[in-house]
Amino acid sequence: MKFSTQDASQAAVDTLTSNYADKWDGAGQIDQTNAFIQFMYSNDLIYVVLGVTLIIWFVLLVFLFRLDRKVSTLENKINPSKNHEA
Amino acid sequence: MKAWKYIVAVGMTIVIASGFLISVPDIPILEQTSRNLFFHVPMWMAMFSMFSISFYYSIRYLNNPEIQFDIKAESAASVGIVFGICGLMTGSLWARFTWGTWWTFAEPKMNLAALAVMIYYAYFVLRSAFDDGEKRAKLSAVYNIFAVTTIPFLLYVVPRQLESLHPGAEGNPAFSEITAPELRYILYPAFIGFIALAFWIYDVVHRHKMVQYHSENS
């Protein structure tokens, strides 16, 4: 399997890719790559979709944790008895 | 909690579940990853809508310098950048297993999207450079108007004029006849869902910043 990144048409606009194509051509040698890459290629690439959803989830989770911590700091500072509607 | 937030919560659950459950057309190389369309592309739509909100409030601030407009603009931009980072990271993972590389400089949309996120990162760097709230608000509003004008060029105009691995290059709309129409039934609800989710997060960030502002100025 060879993918279009390394096509000659791409190399014409991008010398960097052609210079590094040997290093970047991971998709061409699935058998030789590590267990993670092989796992991701299995089952028609469905784990890539899982990876994408997990990335979104983790980024939002990190953001939520940071926001939570900021709100806690603020609460400790003002220490209100008010009932904030969420 | 307001009712629309429950609707977003239920709607997003349906979108995510059906994104995995519907049968996708058999496209070579992409295979199952065509489902990423429902997760990767709405990130950018959410980012655009947040930056639009930010732009709107920056203009409002310049017309009428009240600090709450600046707080809204800042909140929206911060949520927009989070979705931009999500879009870059999901795109990079997707690229690795379909284009064969985590990152390629042959792909204009990828690089210009990273540039767009960095332009907005500079917005926050600029904000952090001022101690005086009024000066910070005014200058960052001006910068924000510059930043938002780059977005359509970086992500629509320029990539479509160049050779690109993304669908939608060379002047075509991203959804041409080669793309399966049944993907749209999930894609458009996913757009609405993620934009609404972004708006929800923006709402929480904005409320936090307002409370912070009032606690510091009371």
pLDDT single digits (tens) B100-136: 888 988 888 899 999 999 999 999 999 999 988 899 9
> Which of the two residues, A38 and B39, has the higher pLDDT score?
B39
Tell me the nearest-neighbour CA distance from A75 into chain B, angstroms.
9
State the pLDDT at residue B98.
84
- B53 contacts chain A (CB < 8 A): no
Q: How confident is the model at residue B185 (pLDDT cuts 50, 70, 90)?
A: confident
| B174-181 average pLDDT score | 60
How many whole angstroms separate alpha carbon B118 and alpha carbon B85?
10
- Chain A positions in Cβ-Cβ contact with residue B97 (cut-off 8 Å): 27, 40-41, 45, 48
How many whole angstroms separate alpha carbon B75 and alpha carbon A67?
12
Q: How confident is the model at residue B91 (pLDDT cuts 50, 70, 90)?
A: very high
Task: State what percent of residues in chain B have pLDDT above 70.
Answer: 94
Does the distance separating the beta carbons of A5 and B39 come in below 8 Å? Answer: no
Q: Is the pLDDT of residue A15 over 50?
A: yes
Place of tokens 């993620």: B194
State the pLDDT at residue B170.
53
Q: Is the pLDDT of residue A31 over 70?
A: no
> Which of the two residues, A47 and A1, has the higher pLDDT score?
A47
How many whole angstroms separate alpha carbon B93 and alpha carbon B102?
6
| Nearest chain B residue to A52, by CA | B90
Sheet strands (E) in chain B? none
> Which of the two residues, B95 and B172, has the higher pLDDT score?
B95
The Cα-based distances of A23 to A29, A51, B190 in angstroms read: 11, 23, 36
| B27-51 average pLDDT score | 89
- Chain B positions in Cβ-Cβ contact with residue A70 (cut-off 8 Å): 208, 212
pLDDT tens digits for B186-208? 889 999 999 999 999 999 999 99
How many whole angstroms separate alpha carbon B18 and alpha carbon B1?
26
| B66-90 average pLDDT score | 95
| Nearest chain A residue to B2, by CA | A86
State the pLDDT at residue A14.
55
State the pLDDT at residue B101.
84
- B36 contacts chain A (CB < 8 A): yes
CB atoms within 10 A of CB B103: 15
Q: ∠ CA(B122), CA(B124), CA(B127), 5° rounding?
A: 110
**Mutate which: B8, B27, B99, B213, vs A, most A CBs within 10 A:** B99
State the pLDDT at residue B168.
60
CB atoms within 10 A of CB B162: 14
Q: Is the pLDDT of residue B169 over 70?
A: no
How many whole angstroms separate alpha carbon B55 and alpha carbon B80?
11
State the pLDDT at residue B178.
53
The Cα-based distances of A34 to A31, A38, A41, B109 in angstroms read: 8, 6, 11, 29
- B17 contacts chain A (CB < 8 A): no
State the pLDDT at residue B183.
83
> Which of the two residues, B76 and B157, has the higher pLDDT score?
B76
State the pLDDT at residue B113.
94
pLDDT tens digits for A36-82? 888 888 888 889 999 999 999 999 999 999 999 998 988 888 875 65
State the pLDDT at residue A85.
46
